[in-house]
Amino acid sequence: MAILAMFTAPDLKKSHYETLRKEVDWEHRQPEGMIFHAAGFDPAGNIHVADVWASQEALDGFFKTRLLPAFEKMKINPPKGEFFSLHNANAAAGIEQFKVKQLVQH
C-alpha cells in the first residue's frame, strides 16, 4: 500500500540537505519504491519533506541501507517522520519541470 511520509528535522539545514543529496544520490540512483520527493525550508531554516512511497517497506529499506548511514557519517540526527496510508495523489502538468532527468552515458 502506498504511503505519504512527512518529515521534519530542525537540525537539518540546507547545506546538510545538499550534502545528503550528493552522498546518497537518490536523484540518479533512484531507490526502488520511491514515487515522489519534495523538500522545503521554513523561515527559520528547518527542513520539511513530503515523500510518496510504494510501501512502508520500500521506504524503510532505503532509510536503513542508504539514508541512515549518510546521516551517521555526517553526525546528524535523522528526521522524525509521520506515515499515512496514501488516500489521493495528483500531479499537474507543471510537475514536469521538477522531474529528475536520467543521465545518459555514452
**In the chain, at which residue ranges do the beta strands (DSSP E only) sit?**
3-9, 34-41, 47-53, 80-85
The per-residue pLDDT for 81 is 94
CATH of the domain spanning 3-86: 3.30.70.100
Q: What is the pLDDT of residues 31-57, one digit of tens each?
A: 999 999 999 999 999 999 999 999 999
- CA separation for the pair 36, 70 (Å, rounded): 20
The per-residue pLDDT for 106 is 40
Domain locations in the chain? 3-86
**Which contacts qualify for 20-23: CB closer than 8 Å, 24 or more apart?**
20/67, 20/70, 20/71, 20/74, 23/70, 23/73, 23/74
- CA separation for the pair 12, 3 (Å, rounded): 23
Stretches where the chain sits below pLDDT 50 are 103-106
- CA separation for the pair 106, 66 (Å, rounded): 27
Name the residue with cell 542508504: 66
